[in-house]
Amino acid sequence: MIRFECDYTEGAHPRILERLIETNFQQTPGYGVDEHCQRARDLIRRACDAPEADVHFLVGGTQTNKTIIASLLRPYQGVIASESGHIAIHETGAIEAAGHKVISLPKNREGKLSSAQIRRVWAAHYAEDMPEHAVQPAMAYISQPTEYGTLYSLEELEEISRTCRECGLYLMVDGARLGYGLAAEGCDAGLPDLARLCDVFYIGGTKVGALFGEAVVFPRGKELSRDFRYYIKQNGGMLAKGRLLGIQFETLFSDGLYLEISRHAVRMARKLQDAFESHGIEIRYPSTTNQIFPVVPNDALARLSGKYAFSHVEPVEGDRSVVRFCTCWATKEENVDSLIRDLPAALSAQ
Q: What is the mean pLDDT of residues 317-329?
A: 95
Q: What is the mean pLDDT of residues 75-102?
A: 94
- Answer yes or no: are the C-beta atoms of 253 and 259 closer than 8 Å: no
Q: Which band of pLDDT confidence, cut at 50, 70 and 90, is reported for residue 173?
A: very high
| Longest pairwise C-alpha distance within the chain | 63
Is 191's pLDDT higher than 60?
Answer: yes
Domain 2-6+257-348 fold is Aspartate Aminotransferase, domain 1 (3.90.1150)
- Distances in Å between the Cα of 348 and the Cα atoms of 90, 161, 300, 301 are 35, 48, 8, 12
Convert the pLDDT of each residue in 230-241 to its tens digit. Answer: 999 999 999 999
Convert the pLDDT of each residue in 14-25 to its tens digit. Answer: 999 999 999 999
Is 116's pLDDT higher than 60?
Answer: yes
Q: What is the mean pLDDT of residues 228-257?
A: 97
Question: In sequence order, what are the residues at sequence separation of 6 or more whose Cβ sits closer than 8 angstroms to the Cβ of residue 54?
Answer: 217, 218, 221, 222, 225, 228
Q: What is the mean pLDDT of residues 145-169?
A: 97
Q: What is the mean pLDDT of residues 217-233?
A: 96
What integer pLDDT is reported at residue 350 of this predicted model?
A: 52
Average per-residue pLDDT for the chain? 96
Q: What is the mean pLDDT of residues 266-286?
A: 97
What integer pLDDT is reported at residue 121 of this predicted model?
A: 97
Evaluate the omega torsion of the peptide bond into residue 145 and state whether it is cis, within 30 degrees of 0: yes
CATH of domain 14-252: 3.40.640.10
Question: In sequence order, what are the residues at sequence separation of 6 or more whose Cβ sits closer than 8 angstroms to the Cβ of residue 208?
Answer: 7, 177, 178, 179, 180, 252, 258, 261, 262, 328, 329
Q: Return left, alpha or beta for 92; rule: phi > 0 is left, psi -120 to 50 is alpha, else beta.
A: left
Is 128's pLDDT higher than 70?
Answer: yes
Convert the pLDDT of each residue in 22-52 to its tens digit. Answer: 999 999 999 999 999 999 999 999 999 999 9
> pTM for the complete prediction?
0.96
Structural domain spans, the chain: 2-6+257-348, 14-252
Q: What is the mean pLDDT of residues 298-313?
A: 96
How far is Cα of residue 240 from the mean position of the Cα atoms in its chain?
24
Beta bridge partners of 324: 311
DSSP-assigned letter for residue 307: T
Beta bridge partners of 171: 140
Q: Which band of pLDDT confidence, cut at 50, 70 and 90, is reported for residue 349?
A: low
Closest to 269 measured CA to CA, from 148, 173, 175, 143: 148
Beta bridge partners of 311: 324
Distance, in Å, from the CA atom of 59 to the CA atom of 308, rounded to the nearest integer, reads 29
What integer pLDDT is reported at residue 331 of this predicted model?
A: 98
Strands 311-316 and 320-326: antiparallel
Of all residues in the chain, the percent with pLDDT exceeding 70 is 99
Helix, strand, coil in percent for the chain, rounding step 5: 45, 20, 40
- How open is the CA angle 24-25-28, to the nearest 5 degrees? 95
Is 8's pLDDT higher than 90?
Answer: yes
Q: Which band of pLDDT confidence, cut at 50, 70 and 90, is reported for residue 108?
A: confident
Q: 3-class DSSP state for residue 325? A: strand
Instruction: Give the number of other Cβ atoms within 10 Å of residue 260's Cβ.
Output: 15
Q: What is the mean pLDDT of residues 248-273?
A: 98
- Answer yes or no: are the C-beta atoms of 144 and 178 closer than 8 Å: yes
Q: Which band of pLDDT confidence, cut at 50, 70 and 90, is reported for residue 109?
A: confident
Distance, in Å, from the CA atom of 259 to the CA atom of 192, rounded to the nearest integer, reads 15
Instruction: Give the number of other Cβ atoms within 10 Å of residue 7's Cβ.
Output: 26
Residue type, 257: L
